[in-house]
Amino acid sequence: MSPADPKATSAVGGCAWLELSVAADVEAVEAVTEILGRAAPGGTSVEPAFELVEEGLGARVDPTRPAIVRAYRPARDAVATDLAVADVATALGHLQAFGLRPIGELHTRIVQESDWAESWKAYFPVMRIGRRLVIRPTLRRHRRSPDDVVLALDPGMAFGTGLHPTTRLCLAALESLADRGAVQGARVLDVGCGSGILAIAAVRLGAASAFGVDTDPIAIEATAANARRNSVVRRVRAREGSLPSGQPAFDVVLANLIAGVLVPLAPALRDELRPGGTVLASGIFIDRETEVAAAFVAAGLTVTGRSAEGDWVALEAVRGS
């Protein structure tokens, strides 16, 4: 473990963040994310291992190598920061003691917000998802095909680059829903909008509008900035908070969350849907699929579809009349 440096944390201003990072086997990602998330009001991100292809213009995920889970918290208060790091280290130690899957040591470093715009480029390549969706960082090139729906995206310090299987599953499920005509003209809710990638994709695939909620104010800023980049600022809105959204019932609800959040949130997700509306839920580790599906059924949703990538699952469910 690399502990936080008290001198560094006490010397930095309000625009500096402490980054906590852990390498984790794909099956341990969810548990590690939950642990780091407790100390991370600045949000968490997951970077799967990948290799560049197409002369560096694309990427292919390598599920055999560990992912890097990162979390961010303000670095203003050295004492609070050291306590948070110690709590995370203790919880990770307990998880490592089980020896179920490989989990690396905890590392920390100070990240200035002004440096973030450069640091993400090292692990954010162009990524094709499904048949038509392409996630393109604004400063990378892409050879566009006629049917491509290209999303220009800079993640900021918010989760949601398209690299993680949970995001890819949700995007692919959204594209499938659009292919069936269920997105055209729809009103869409994105719960935990992160970078805004799902909300923007929904609008680019034909939705009339998308409304995002996230408890992280940085995610709201990132969503607004990415909406501007994609010229959908009038159709994509976001606010800080959670459910209920306070909005009229939606046609489609997107929830790329973790199972531990989806289960208790199932009734609230149902309440956001109009009768006959669809929820697309991702972020579900395969061992918890049954639990999430049962929670959806108990809340009055009918599970109508399933997709999987590696050990991650996305579910499609419909609210009855």
Report the C-alpha gap between 167 and 149 in whole angstroms: 16
For residues 111-137, average pLDDT: 73
Secondary structure class of 270 (helix, strand, coil): helix
**Reported confidence tier of residue 216, pLDDT bands at 50, 70, 90:** confident
Q: Which of 83, 215, 80, 201 is nearest to 152 (CA)?
A: 201
Q: Spell out the residues 6+ positions from residue 26 whose beta carbon is closer than 8 angstroms to its own.
A: 48, 63, 66, 67, 310, 311
For residues 116-129, average pLDDT: 66
Using a pLDDT cut of 90, give the percent of the chain over it. Answer: 50
What tens digit of pLDDT does each residue of 11-61 get?
Answer: 334 468 888 999 998 888 888 988 998 888 666 777 777 765 554 445 566
Q: Is the pLDDT of residue 160 over 90?
A: no
Report the C-alpha gap between 244 and 20 in whole angstroms: 31
Q: Which amino acid is at 205?
A: L
Structure tokens at 161: 């680059």
Report the chain's terminal Cα–Cα distance, integer Å. Answer: 53
Interhelix angle 197-204/165-179, rounded to 10 degrees, is 20
More confident residue, 290 or 147: 290
Structure tokens at 5: 């440096």
Q: Which of 123, 119, 105, 24 is nearest to 67 (CA)?
A: 24
**Reported confidence tier of residue 5, pLDDT bands at 50, 70, 90:** very low
Q: Spell out the residues 6+ positions from residue 94 whose beta carbon is closer than 8 angstroms to its own.
A: none
Q: Is 95 left (phi over 0), alpha (psi -120 to 50) or beta?
A: alpha
